[in-house]
Chains A and B, each alone.
Chain A
Amino acid sequence: RKEVEQDPGPFNVPEGATVAFNCTYSNSASQSFFWYRQDCRKEPKLLMSVYSSGNEDGRFTAQLNRASQYISLLIRDSKLSDSATYLCVVPSGNTPLVFGKGTRLSVIA
């Protein structure tokens, strides 16, 4: 099983919609998780950290389900500016973070 798996998308949603992405991971000892956002031809930027059951920041909510080993990112009231690739990031013991390949989101007017 791959360490981190994400649906590559693309998810095409209208403005104002709510959209959710899931990310599954295989290392059950993982403690802290991250979501990054990456715009086309730019570097990944930290969007949210998830250290316990979840985290909320404005329109963005990240949730962690340890029993099923997945984390999710929920975006409410989608904006055109939310169009990007969202990377799920999982720790892997005493080695560097493992980055998923990302889920592409397109918000359409």
Chain B
Amino acid sequence: DVKVTQSSRYLVKRTGEKVFLECVQDMDHENMFWYRQDPGLGLRLIYFSYDVKMKEKGDIPEGYSVSREKKERFSLILESASTNQTSMYLCASSWTLSNQPQHFGDGTRLSIL
């Protein structure tokens, strides 16, 4: 069974802080993804990575960056957290970019005060 692990279920940070969200998968998947999910807006893709050290912008990359130094780990970074980044953040991984299903972590509920 695929296991995608996110470092925190709940996180509270202050405006202006640099925030790191970590995600680890144990299936040797090439592709990893970061989404945020807000009521009424569905899942929105922030960044994805198709290989180590490779990254691509998704639909809403502004205010975020990512790091993929190892195949199993994909980190999302909020450079200077703002209140409009309060959201549920979901990490996922998959074998291929678009023909295989994605497997999600439990999610991190991030509050920026």
Determine if B101 and A34 form an interchain contact, defined as CB atoms under 8 angstroms apart. Answer: yes
Determine if A102 and B101 form an interchain contact, defined as CB atoms under 8 angstroms apart. Answer: no
Main secondary structure of the interface of A (DSSP, over half): strand
Given the known interface contacts A43-B90, A43-B105, the answer about A96 and B41 at a Cβ–Cβ threshold of 8 Å is no
Q: Mask for A20-47, Cβ within 8 A of B = 1, else 0?
A: 0000000000011010100001111110
Number of interface residues of B (CB under 8 A): 24
Residues on B lying within 8 angstroms of A by beta carbon are: 31, 33, 40-43, 45, 48, 58, 88, 90, 94, 97-107, 109
Residues on A lying within 8 angstroms of B by beta carbon are: 31-32, 34, 36, 41-46, 49, 87, 89, 91-97, 99-102
What are 11 A-B pairs at a CB distance below 8 A? Answer: A31-B99, A32-B99, A32-B100, A43-B105, A91-B99, A94-B97, A96-B58, A96-B98, A97-B94, A97-B98, A100-B42
